[in-house]
Structure 1
């Protein structure tokens, strides 16, 4: 008889759990809940607290040992050795002006450009305007120093792309469009949390399913034509939001 396969699925589930647990432990160190020099709870205590197996707890702890954040001592428990690297956190743009300023703080690389494309507007999402016959699709990765933290899937109305293409060699789409404000009559942004897919895993080197901050952005010209559509996904640690609650 063929051997059953559940142990493989069980191992995959355990792997996902240990990665989730490692993120949780890393956050405890980042926030100071587990202070540098302090001992963390025992494996048995963590096993009972999080309702996972001892193997899963040990895998999560060893992951942080490998990162240099924890040290396990014989008969001495495990203590915190250092803080994780904290990346710079950028203010997530909430206006076109902030979007232009954001583009001045980061570097970008265009990975591919495809003509005669159509924006993949999500099913059930209200169509914000009239679709143009064709768009140019740009896939761009954004970096700060050596760190890749953002992937943009951008769509620009094709005839407009031909007009501003020279500017795009050194500017973001928002900067290029903003240089002629009369082109834009309306512009909006929709924020949500979305899991990392294969494209993100490939270009931002994060695990599949990692929660990301996602911004859907669009702009219409005075005739109601959608001239710009973007799906922008950020590694969450690199962005934050601020809003005036009295506005």
Structure 2
């Protein structure tokens, strides 16, 4: 079971949300601060009722081996509009709900979404990790921000993503000749370790098993 150590604060509007991100980002740690990682969780969010309901899924896997240990689903009414850069305020409340349902406590959480790859360096993985004070990694399917050198075509190839002179994440080829993914620190995990864990959680698919299975479970009729 995971419970927040910081209270979630829900902003009234986009301006308040941006101000809250600016405040909270000062507390994020981009350094490795975790013990032995044996259980890894993936979290993802989907929507039901034409967007009126947000549905969160979590899947916990063993590392190594990636056997499924536990999974859970939670739902809430959608309480914040879709605004790029502020997606965590749509998803965090229900993610906290679903993580609180776990009987096991994962050592690391991989989020379907960005972490430090964010204009204010405070994406979903950063927000969730800070509230829980727990190691988190962002794994996004599409490019959001920044520039990078040309990426090789072989699985395991990666390049740093930079923005305004700062390295904010990495573009990673998880399968040979398959579209890349975008990896970044959330909280208490450095970028090198984030890439390492994403690769360790990956098999024959583009996405790591953590977020791939959470994505399936988050769909309206999803099953593992």
TM-score with structure 2 setting the length: 0.23
Q: Which has the higher helix share?
A: 1
TM-score for both structures, normalised by structure 1? 0.21
Larger radius of gyration: 1
